[in-house]
Amino acid sequence: MLTLAVVFVLCVALYLYGTRTFNYWEKRGIKHDKPIPFFGNNSRMYLWQKSMTEIGVEMYWKYPKERVVGFYRAMRPELVLRDPEIIKRVLVSDFGYFHMRGISTHKTVVEPIAKNLFLAEGDLWKLLRQRMTPAFSSGKLKAMFPLIVERAERLQTHAINAPPTGRVLDSREIMARYTTDFIGACGFGLDMDSLSVENSSFRQLGIDIFKVEVSQIIKQMLKEMFPEACKHFRIFSKIEKDAYALVKTILQKRNYQPCGRHDFIDLLLESKQKGKMVGQSIESVKSNGMPEEVSLELTEELMMAQIVVFFAAGFETSSSSTSYTLHELAYNPEEQRKVQEEVDRVFAKYDNKLCYDAVSEITYLHCAFKEGIRMFPSLGHLVRKCARKYTFPDLDLTIDDGVSLFIPVQALHMDPLYFEEPEKFKPGRFLTDFINPLTKHIYLPFGEGPRACIGERLGLMQSLAGLAAVLSRYSVEPAPETLRHPRIDPTSNIVQSVVGGLPLMFKLRSK
């Protein structure tokens, strides 16, 4: 009898713990779905039934008249934003309140690999961003372009190598290999030749970074449910080991000194030579209200984290965006013809060679790429975390520090309120400014504000070069096994991916 009583008390205690925050949105009059103890509204993501982006799309359309919608990620209150003006405030106007990315479950105890520019919080993020921004200047990007050309030509001649009758290839995998080679060259001074070598170590590292295992999901779920108790759980331990070994080899080859290649490794080594990173705090203020001065040493551990995120963010987003653009062009042959005519015309002007100026002039291809990432943005959602108590001026709503803000980018991009016939692939919509002024804060494939993607211009340049190289020589068509609407991988979380790749028929063009 005593045993039953103890079990009953434990069950009640667990239930109360697992539901302790579930009156947060109700008290504030915010509509939301009924949460499940411990899981909140996020059980389907934990059970691999829906990706976080797909869940965000559902929440967006379920409450069409609300400007914000309540959500519980496990037991943590989260606010889904549906209104352009509120999104602008969070990302830009009131950034000081929302500078935290909010993906890490614990601010002070994080895995070394998570101390990168994408996941870092507070002063660590600010100092890293300040020091790394010069790596992406126009001059540096232009200097990298010959390396892009070399990889794009390999993509044309070796990787695809399709006859006039056609060849079915997974466009997702082909573009991932092209992007991997580009990042290996421009980032690390390595010629990995992933386009020719089936199992290159660099390509395998890219696969491993985004490969989700059951153990990782369980650890992440427990960290979100019990953040203090599980804060020491390591999710990226295998990737850390492989990445450390690769980075260590590169640094040792250069004797920990810049070698004059002006790549990402050189930038970090030059940055280390400059000494401590120093700047104004985004977290702490003096008694007079002025920001504290903060400093940070760029350790080898921090360098490794930046190198891994440069590689991961660059290869996954670019390969996803370029392959999906090819997918839509395959199903829209008239648009593909317009792009190819422009590519042919501009290339003829530059002796049929791919060069920086040629890529800058291929306007309609740029529009097609923008349309591709509107329909399928790599980052299907953005997350920010409230750093201190904040009141939304026209909502009569105050949220506490630690509450996350969820921006459902995929849903916003497909809302007919902002984009006419959003389900149709219409590159021409990007030839002129959007008629709806609110769309500026709705079209967010690279984010917006101080935490927008630092490598946007580099990714754009490399993606357009790859697409131009492919479409100047080949046409793409749906293959027998191609799905018109690819199925989203339910295990993809931060970056969207599809199940089964994106197979297309590549045919050599007859000019």
CA angle 437, 440, 441 (to 5 degrees): 115
Rg of the chain over all Cα atoms, to the nearest angstrom: 24
386 annotated as a binding-site residue: no
In sequence order, the 6+-apart residues with CB closer than 8 A to the CB of 371 are 325, 328, 425, 426, 427, 429, 430
* Tokens, residue 507: 């045919």
Torsional class of 362: left (φ above 0), alpha (ψ -120 to 50), beta (otherwise): beta
From first CA to last CA, the distance across the chain in angstroms is: 87
Local structure of 291: helix, strand or coil: strand
Sign of the Cα torsion 472, 478, 482, 483 reads positive
In angstroms, rounded to a whole number, what is the distance separating the alpha carbons of residues 67 and 52? 20
The angle subtended at Cα 198 by Cα 195 and Cα 203, nearest 5°, is: 70
Instruction: List phi, psi (to 5°) of 379.
Output: -90, 95
Among residues 233, 222, 232, which one has the least CA distance to residue 18? 222
Q: Residue 404: name the closest of 382, 432, 377, 419 by CA.
A: 382
Q: In whole angstroms, what is the distance from residue 505 CA to residue 330 CA?
A: 9
**Which tokens is 31 given?**
């509509």
Per the annotation, binding residues for heme are: 453
Per the annotation, binding residues are: 453
